[in-house]
Amino acid sequence: MVLATDLRGTNFGQNSQYLHVWDSTNLTSFTGYRRIRMHTLNAHTWAPTAFWDASRGQYGIVYSCNSGGDVLMVNYTTDFVNVTAQQVFFSPGFGVLDGDIVVDGGTTHLYYKNLANGLLYGARSSTGAPNSFTTYTGGLRMGNAIEAPLLVKNNEGSGWRLWGDSFSPVNADYYIWSTPNIGGNSWTPLNQRDYTPPLNAKHGSIVGITDAEYNGLVSRWGNPNWVRLKSSNLPDYFVRHANSVGRIDPYPFDPYQDQLWRMVPGLADSAGVSFESVNRPGNFLRHFNYAIRLEANNGTATFRADATFYRTAGLADAAWTSLRSYNFPDRYLRHANYLLRIDPLSASSSASDRQDATFRITP
C-alpha cells in the first residue's frame, strides 16, 4: 500500500482533502490507483502514514492537517477505499506535523515535529487511541531545521534509529539518532561516517521488506549503475565535478548528478578503475599537473593513464578505500581545500593527509 500527498502544487494555503493510494503485493507493480477523500474541511492534507490498530481491527491513516491550526488527524479503514470520518488524533496545544507511528508490543509510539520550536519529539500511548499520547522525550534537531521524523527498529540486534529530514543549511539532508531503549530519553546522534543518506530523497518512509521482496525489487528495477565517493573525514562531502574541476562538496547540491560516477575497468589497466561521469558521458576524472579535472577521453595513452587508479585499503581506515594513481604510483587521490589532486602519500604520512585520501565507494 502506497499513500501519498495530493499536493496540488506546493501552496499549503490551497484546500486538499484527498490522499493518493496504490496497491501492491510485490513492490514491483502498483495497481488500483484511487484518491480517497479524508474530510470536507477547508484545509490542506499531507504527510500521511498508516498503522494497524489491533483493538479496532482497523488501520489508522494519520496525516497533517491545517484546520484552525496544525494538528494530526486520523481516519480508520479496513480496505483503504472507505474511511471513517476524520477526528483529531494529536493536538497537544501547539502546532504539530509529520507524525510517524510505530506499534511495539503494547506501546504505540508517535514521533512528530513541534512547530513552536522546530524540534522533533516522541510521544507514546498504551492504547494508540486518539488524544491518548504523552510526550516523553526531549527535543531533537541536527542541522539548522528539521522535519519528517522516521522511527525504525533495527534489523540487526536490538535498538532503534530515528531519521530526520533537514532542510537547512541545505535541503534534503538526512540525519540519524540511535538508542538502545525506545522507552528512554537517550537518543544519540550518529556520525555520518556510519551511514549514507539516500540520494535525492525527501520526506520519505522506511518499511522493512523480506529477502524475497528485495530480490524482486532488484530483478524489476535493477541495482544502481553508478557509485559515489564519500569523504572519510568530511563524511557529508562527496566527490563531484563542477566547471570541469574535481572537488568535494557537502551533499545535497544541484545538480545532484555531478556526484554520480560509472566505475569502469581502468582505461590503462583493467585491474584498475576509471570514473566516468554519469551526466557527462565520455568524460572521466583524470589528473593534469597533479590536479583532478573532468575531461573527455581523447583516446591517447596519456589520458588513459591519467584516468586510471588502483583501489587499495584506505590509508586512514582499511575498511574504506584509497585510490592510487596508475602512472604516479606514489601518489593518491586526496582532497585539499576541497579540491581534488594526487599527492605522494604513504602509511607514514600524517593522519590528516591519510584521511584526506580515504573514501567510501557507495551508492
- Residue 67 clears pLDDT 90, i.e. is over it: no
Instruction: Say whether both 211 and 253 belong to one domain.
Output: no
Mean per-residue pLDDT of the chain: 95
Residue ending a domain, choose from 195, 221, 247: 221
Instruction: Say whether both 274 and 337 belong to one domain.
Output: yes
The domain spanning residue 287 has which CATH number? 2.80.10.50
Predicted confidence (pLDDT) per residue in 76-130, tens digit: 999 999 999 999 999 999 999 999 999 999 999 999 999 999 999 999 999 999 9
Region 341-347: mean pLDDT is 97
As for how many domains the chain has, the answer is 2
Instruction: Say whether both 143 and 278 belong to one domain.
Output: no
pLDDT given for residue 53 in this prediction: 97
- Residue 163 clears pLDDT 60, i.e. is over it: yes
In Å, how far from its chain's centre is CA 345?
A: 33
Distance in angstroms (rounded) separating the CA atoms of residues 285 and 205: 35
Residue 239's nearest CA partner among 165, 323, 297, 306 is: 323
Please answer whether residues 311 and 318 qualify as being in contact, where contact means their C-beta atoms are separated by less than 8 angstroms. no
pLDDT given for residue 348 in this prediction: 95
CA distances from 263 to 72, 217, 247, 272, 285 (A): 46, 23, 17, 10, 11
341 confidence band (pLDDT: 50, 70, 90):
very high
Instruction: Say whether both 30 and 165 belong to one domain.
Output: yes
pLDDT given for residue 171 in this prediction: 81
C-alpha cell at 157: 540486534
Q: 26 CB contacts (<8 Å, ≥6 apart)?
A: 213, 216
Instruction: Say whether both 276 and 241 belong to one domain.
Output: yes
C-alpha cell at 185: 530519553
The domain spanning residue 103 has which CATH number? 2.115.10.20
Distance in angstroms (rounded) separating the CA atoms of residues 354 and 363: 23
- Residue 290 clears pLDDT 90, i.e. is over it: yes
Region 276-291: mean pLDDT is 98
Distance in angstroms (rounded) separating the CA atoms of residues 251 and 235: 10
Instruction: Say whether both 131 and 105 belong to one domain.
Output: yes
The whole domain housing 186 covers 2-221
Residue ending a domain, choose from 221, 241, 271: 221
Q: Which residue type, as a one-letter code, is found at position 232?
A: S
Instruction: Say whether both 39 and 180 belong to one domain.
Output: yes
- Residue 9 clears pLDDT 70, i.e. is over it: no
Distance in angstroms (rounded) separating the CA atoms of residues 3 and 189: 29
Instruction: Say whether both 16 and 110 belong to one domain.
Output: yes
- Residue 8 clears pLDDT 80, i.e. is over it: no
- Residue 294 clears pLDDT 90, i.e. is over it: yes
231 confidence band (pLDDT: 50, 70, 90):
very high
